[in-house]
Amino acid sequence: MARPTGPLPDFSAIDQATNKHVVYDESAVKEQEMLFKIAVRSEMQRLVVGALRLGAYILAALLVVRFWHLVGPSWARWLSEGDLQAMDKMLFSSAFGGFVLSYLKDTISSK
């Protein structure tokens, strides 16, 4: 197989022709920024909803344990009186409720 002889083809004209017709579209940049913001917002919403679900599961487990200590037999109770008081304090504090209300307020106001 023989190498072609003669001058090499000039491909720079092809590059110049394509670059002439490239138009910078500012609306595409704005659209990309908006799509990124929407993606970040939806990811944050997924994280918050997951945290709320986890909190609800923990709250349900605490309520089941507390109810068991109220109605269960005395030989099946494993928490001390101090532990129960700490659990009551945690169950009836407004930290979890405040978090839920602030999330709902932010969600409703953003619509």
Is residue 58 within 8 Å of residue 95, measured between CB atoms? Answer: no
Q: What pLDDT, on a 0 to 100 scale, did the predictor assign at position 43?
A: 94
Q: What pLDDT, on a 0 to 100 scale, did the predictor assign at position 25?
A: 72
Domain annotation covers residue 14: no
Q: Which H/E stretch holds residue 79?
A: none
Domain annotation covers residue 79: yes
Is residue 91 within 8 Å of residue 66, measured between CB atoms? Answer: yes
Q: What pLDDT, on a 0 to 100 scale, did the predictor assign at position 44?
A: 92
Tokens 């109605």 belong to which residue? 71
Domain annotation covers residue 43: no
Domain annotation covers residue 78: yes
Q: What pLDDT, on a 0 to 100 scale, did the predictor assign at position 50?
A: 94
Non-local CB neighbours of 52 within 8 Å, separated by 6+ positions: 99, 100, 103
Q: What pLDDT, on a 0 to 100 scale, did the predictor assign at position 36?
A: 94
Domain annotation covers residue 66: yes
Tell me the whole-structure pTM to 2 decimals: 0.54
Domain count across the chain: 1
Domain annotation covers residue 25: no
**Residue 4: count of CB within 10 angstroms of its CB:** 7
Domain annotation covers residue 75: yes
- Dist CA 14 CA 22 (whole Å): 13
Domain annotation covers residue 76: yes
pLDDT in tens, the chain (111 residues): 566 677 777 666 665 555 555 556 788 888 889 999 999 999 999 999 998 899 889 888 988 998 898 888 888 888 888 988 888 887 777 666 677 677 777 777 765
69: containing domain: 51-110
Residue 42 tokens read as: 């939806």
